[in-house]
Structure 1
């Protein structure tokens, strides 16, 4: 009888141990997260997101909330959600023109898109630069993958983009310029 209980106890402990070990969460490697991200971004044709942008200045920092819209190959739109005094204003980049709309005075201004490459705030721009860039720096932590690329040109203030990818969701969490 004692042997039966001992065997039963060992069997139960073995089952519990196997379930805990076998059903544990998989930790993704840097390479797996990177490959999943590459596959995911190659299929993106458009996206919309809310972006919190912190502009760091000499005297003070300013935080803006934007609604970003991107459609391949060259449509970018920023709509200001915050601060209140700029709320509702939009900037649309459509190929060779830029449309600036101010709903407070019901005015739209059309400008030539002289610097056609400067859409640094958009993940769509990161994707375009990433696809054309030969040098990509990867750094992984337990929770995220950091992808760093150079921005084409010789602007000392805008020379690299860093995108942080969540290891679990494989989605971008943050971008630094």
Structure 2
């Protein structure tokens, strides 16, 4: 594993740009909710940057950027409750995405779809643990469909961006 003392200025700038992008799109999603009539549904465009980071820099920087985004956005744009829901969804989805990327049988879009689905499941599990209302579990099929659709959209965007920029990115030294 690489030590933090070897992170270059270019890498820090790249990580900072990804974090800034995730925070901007998270804020835009707060300002303009999706008008589909299902509570709490978002495109999750911040996941585009997380998937890109996972492919460009590896799991650890992607995890750090994801957690920092959630903490900062929760304090700036939301509340303490959203912090726990977001962390649960993000951590579960991140570990599924990182594991599937290591397996190498999944495309970038497939990994993003899994991330979208497991993010929703993680948030629903937290809601169930807090409320202890079993009826919430009936929401799982809806969340799987929504996670699949949004994951496909985000994965497609990540793939298009990756194909355009990966040759210009400074890779971390091992």
- TM > 0.5 between the two? no
Q: Which one has the bigger helix percentage?
A: 2
Name the structure with the higher strand share: 1
Q: Which has the higher contact order (CA 8 A, sep 6+)?
A: 2
Q: TM-score, normalised by structure 2?
A: 0.31
Larger radius of gyration: 1
